[in-house]
Structure 1
Amino acid sequence: MASEDEAEIRKLFLESEVLYQNLRTEILYCLQKAFSAPQSIKIHSITARVKTIDSFLEKVTRKSYTSPFEQAEDLVGARVVCLFIADLSGIKDMLRNTFDVISEEDKVNEGEASSFGYMSHHFICRLSSAHSGPRYDAIKEIKFEIQVRTILMDAWANISHYLAYKSEESIPADLVRDFHALSGLLYVADRQFQNLNRDAVHSAIQAEQDIINSREVLSSAINTDTVAALFRRQYPDRDRASEKLIAEFISELSLIDLNDLRDLARILQENHGSVLKYEKKFPPANSSRYGDVGLARNALAIHSPKYEKAKYPKVKVRHAEFRGHSNS
């Protein structure tokens, strides 16, 4: 590329950079909004960037572009990194509902099995017709790229990029086998994480069915699935705790050497009346009533002075006041 051509491209790029930054901001906002809805796909990260002028000029030269601003479709780019392979399909649908998808390339399912490099879904998009009005007039026709990957795909892409091997031909011959092996290991790991997630979902459903539908809670191990199911049985009308909060509650059970679900169920049931009386006198600060894990913690505090002292050292008199109350 002649120096005068480079100077002209640099000048045009800098003149339009504010538009690219505005588009980047809009893309990021749309993606974050789309994936923030309840029950949405769990996303690890969403990022967006405007290509640097030096990176743009390098690509123009490498690709021999004759009309660089029309031919380059990734001057503005975004990346969505999800947890599991199965999420990729749902993300594809979300992108189609959010933007005008011009083209897409599936390097996960349609790429060659032996191909070097990272796998991902690439989408070339424009803002949709919903983005109308003066605010969008200058940016609505600019194409941009969105890449969608799992965490492991993203890890492979970043590491291989750092190592600067752009193609299989560029890898030293004695490293080719190792690169293929590592790529295969990450691919298998991605599949296994997906299987693990599927099995975890099945385990939670099965635990809820077994515990809620049984006449009594049988002796079984305490874990996030069984405790969540027990809470649904004991406190069906209360807000459900997150998995993180349930995990914290389970860690607290070691304070009183409690490790059997049947024993936990008995304690919750025997102290339920006392817990409701406690709640009436001492409602939570940020709500009119406790969620399921709040009720369970108060039940343990009423049942066990040891738990009460460790968990609520400043309010132990309150719980002790309700110890021994009727469960009616």
Structure 2
Amino acid sequence: MNQTSNRHWLIEILPRHTRLTVAVKSLLENILRERQIEYLDINGRVKTLDSALEKIKRKKYSNPKSQMTDLSGIRVITYLESQVLEVTSAIRELFSVDEENSLDRSTVLGSDRIGYRSAHFVCSLGEARSQLPEYVSLGDLKFEIQVRTVLQHAWAELAHDRSFKFQTGLPTGIQRKLNLYAGMLEIVDSAFDSIAQEIDEYTVQLNNKSLNQLSEVEINSISISKFIKELLQHTYINIEYKDLDDDILKELADFGVKNIGQLEAMATDDFIRWYESNKASTTTFSLLRDMMIYTNFDLYFSNDVNWGAIDLQDYEIFASSFGKDKVKAALNENEIDVLDGNNNIIDINAL
């Protein structure tokens, strides 16, 4: 085909590839959501007419209709290496994969090419899906899917950016450093995956323990979440679980809580009754802070308290339970504002 014929062919087929890219992206998003496979991003692109013609010319394709497999391109970026394997498994089940033209570049490239360590598939929708009315005009089209971790993606973007300085053919000493740091990125990628697996295993171990068996377990975000779920099983308190940050963990440490047993000792029947009568719903942050305040109001507010504000309802609960003067003094000393329902600051002295 000459360039004129190529142009006519591309003008006819690129709109179909636009539809194909949208369809493939949607199918991938659905199956990853269904299987609860976490990922950072899925993006798709269709080559422009000019870029497709340029590639045909540069690659000297004699039969671009069969050789151009990347007019539609999808990229899946995961957080971890193990998720790359999960995504590739889903791709093989979802689409028809051209194994001869697909490859896992991490098995064929050296340690200095971390940015190119991605799984690369040439696919079609497959015979069964191609028979469906919504895909009938797309069944003969090929598309490419690339799967890589976020670190692999970052390195690849640097390597492909021609305005950046990481081109090939650098002086020997600089190239050696570049290769070394690329290898370090690969080690970090694997280390993150290993740590994530350890966290999963730790969570499973805790979930298999009863509340009594958690007594000596250290305070951390995972053990606290397990404790709260066990604690509230037989209460009327509805809780919104949120990841715990360093502030609340520091507050617990400053309060003297080092393990789950000490936290459990604070969750007395009196506290649960007080909480149920004052709060129908709460968050993990509020529950832990209120537990410390109820246990020892003076000790809690004598430590470094990182609050910006408190809503009027909580102020009224504390004032009723511990006395207005004590609560006002604690809030003033720690520069904590009281907000009304519209998030306006209330003059605490007027309460």
Instruction: Please classify the TM superposition score into its range, dividing by the shorter chain length.
Output: 0.7 to 0.9
Pairing 1:1-328 to 2, within 5 Å after superposition: 5-37=2-34, 40-103=36-99, 104-108=102-106, 110-113=107-110, 116=113, 118-128=116-126, 129-130=128-129, 132-163=131-162, 170-174=168-172, 175-209=174-208, 212-214=211-213, 217-218=215-216, 221-236=218-233, 242=241, 244-247=242-245, 250=248, 253=251, 257=255, 259-261=257-259, 262-270=261-269, 271-279=271-279, 283-284=280-281, 296=288, 299-300=291-292, 302-303=294-295, 312-315=310-313, 316-318=315-317, 321=320
TM-score (norm 1): 0.78
User: Counterpart amino acid of 1:50?
Assistant: V
- Unpaired segments ≥5 residues, structure 1: 285-289, 324-328
Q: Distance in 1 between matches of 2:230 and 2:123?
A: 47
Retained in 2: the 8 A contact 1:241–1:293?
A: no
Retained in 1: the 8 A contact 2:7–2:49?
A: yes
User: Counterpart amino acid of 1:272?
Assistant: I
Retained in 1: the 8 A contact 2:111–2:182?
A: no
Q: Distance in 1 between matches of 2:138 and 2:108?
A: 32
What is the DSSP-based 3-state SS (H/G/I as helix, E as strand, rest coil) of the residue aligned with 2:141? Answer: coil
Q: Distance in 1 between matches of 2:95 and 2:220?
A: 41
What is the DSSP-based 3-state SS (H/G/I as helix, E as strand, rest coil) of the residue aligned with 1:42? Answer: coil
List per-residue Cα deviations over 1:243-281 (Å, max 9, x = no partner).
x533378358369745433443222334112222334xx
User: Deviation of residue 145 (structure 1)?
Assistant: 0.5
Q: Distance in 1 between matches of 2:50 and 2:250?
A: 55
- Unpaired segments ≥5 residues, structure 2: 323-351
User: Deviation of residue 298 (structure 1)?
Assistant: 5.2
User: Deviation of residue 143 (structure 1)?
Assistant: 0.6
List per-residue Cα deviations over 1:61-105 (Å, max 9, x = no partner).
232211212211111010111111122221111112222222231
List per-residue Cα deviations over 1:278-316 (Å, max 9, x = no partner).
34xxx34xxxxx576665565456556577995643112
Q: Distance in 2 between matches of 1:194 and 1:62?
A: 39
Q: Distance in 2 between matches of 1:302 and 1:211?
A: 25
Q: Distance in 2 between matches of 1:302 and 1:69?
A: 73
Q: Distance in 2 between matches of 1:164 and 1:61?
A: 23
Retained in 2: the 8 A contact 1:267–1:300?
A: yes
Retained in 2: the 8 A contact 1:221–1:259?
A: no
- Note the aligned Cα RMSD (angstroms): 3.5
